[in-house]
Chain A
Amino acid sequence: MTLVYLMINGLQIGSIYALVALGYSMVYGIVKLINFAHGDIIMVGAYSTWYLMSRFSAPAWLAVTATIVMCSVLGVLIEKIAYKPLRKSDRLSLLVTAIGISLLLQNVAQLLFSANPRMFTNIFTGSVSIGERQFSNATTVTIAVSIVIMLLLTLLVKHTRMGKAMRAVSEDYETAQLMGINVNNTISFTFALGSGLAAVGAVFYCCSYSQIQPTMGSMLGLKAFVAAVLGGIGSMPGAMIGGLCIGIAESLTKGYISSQLTDAVVFGILIVVLLIKPSGMFGRRMNEKV
Chain B
Amino acid sequence: MPKLLKSTPFRYALNATAAVGLYAVIMALINTGILNRYQALMLIPIGFNIILAVSLNLTAGFLGQLPLGHAGFMSVGGYAAALFSMSVNLPTNIELPLALVIGGLVAAAFGVLIGLPALRLKGDYLAIITLGFGEIIRVIILNLKFTGGAYGLKGIGRQTTVTWVYIFVIITLYVISTLIKSRHGRAILSIREDEIAAEASGIPTTYYKVLAFSISAGFAGIAGGLYAHYLSILDPSTFGFMRSVEILVIVVLGGLGSLFGSVISAVVLTILPEMLRGFAEYRMVIYSLLLVVVMIFKPSGLCGRYEFSLGDTIDNFFSMIRGSLIKKGGGSDDASA
Q: A270-B132, A290-B196 in contact; A278/B256 too (CB < 8 A)?
A: no
CB nearest to B294 among chain A residues: A100
Report the bound CA distance from A99 to B291 in whole Å.
9
Q: A103-B287, A222-B241 in contact; A34/B136 too (CB < 8 A)?
A: no
Residues of A participating in the B interface, judged by any CB pair closer than 8 Å: 32, 34, 82, 85-86, 89-93, 95-97, 99-101, 103-104, 106-108, 110-111, 218, 222, 225-226, 229, 258, 260-261, 263-264, 267-268, 270-271, 274-275, 278, 288, 290
Query: Are the CB atoms of A271 and B299 closer together than 8 Å?
Result: no
Task: Point out the residue from A34, A111, A268 that lies within 8 Å of B128, measured CB to CB.
Answer: A34
Query: Are the CB atoms of B132 and A99 closer together than 8 Å?
Result: no
Report the bound CA distance from A226 to B285 in whole Å.
27
Which residues on the A side are within 8 Å of B142 (C-beta)?
260
Which residues on the B side are within 8 Å of A270 (C-beta)?
128-129, 132
Which residues on the B side are within 8 Å of A260 (C-beta)?
139, 142-143
Report the bound CA distance from A267 to B249 in whole Å.
23
Residue pairs across A and B with Cβ atoms less than 8 A apart, 7 shown, are A91-B124, A93-B252, A97-B296, A103-B245, A103-B287, A108-B285, A261-B139
Report the bound CA distance from A34 to B125 in whole Å.
10
Q: A100-B291, A275-B120 are in contact. List 8 more A-B contacts (CB 8 A).
A: A82-B296, A92-B60, A100-B288, A107-B284, A107-B288, A268-B132, A270-B132, A274-B129
Query: Are the CB atoms of B284 and A103 closer together than 8 Å?
Result: yes
Residues of B participating in the A interface, judged by any CB pair closer than 8 Å: 60, 66, 117, 120-121, 123-125, 127-129, 131-133, 135-136, 139-140, 142-143, 196, 241-242, 245, 248-249, 252, 256, 281-282, 284-285, 287-289, 291-292, 295-296, 299-300
Chain A contact residues: over half helix, strand or loop, or mixed? helix
Q: A91-B124, A278-B121 in contact; A263/B129 too (CB < 8 A)?
A: no
Q: A100-B295, A263-B139 in contact; A111/B256 too (CB < 8 A)?
A: no
Query: Are the CB atoms of A100 and B281 closer together than 8 Å?
Result: no
Least Cβ distance of B68 to chain A in Å?
A: 9
Query: Are the CB atoms of A86 and B299 closer together than 8 Å?
Result: yes
Least Cβ distance of B119 to chain A in Å?
A: 11
Query: Are the CB atoms of A107 and B285 closer together than 8 Å?
Result: yes
Which residues on the A side are within 8 Å of B136 (C-beta)?
264, 267-268, 271
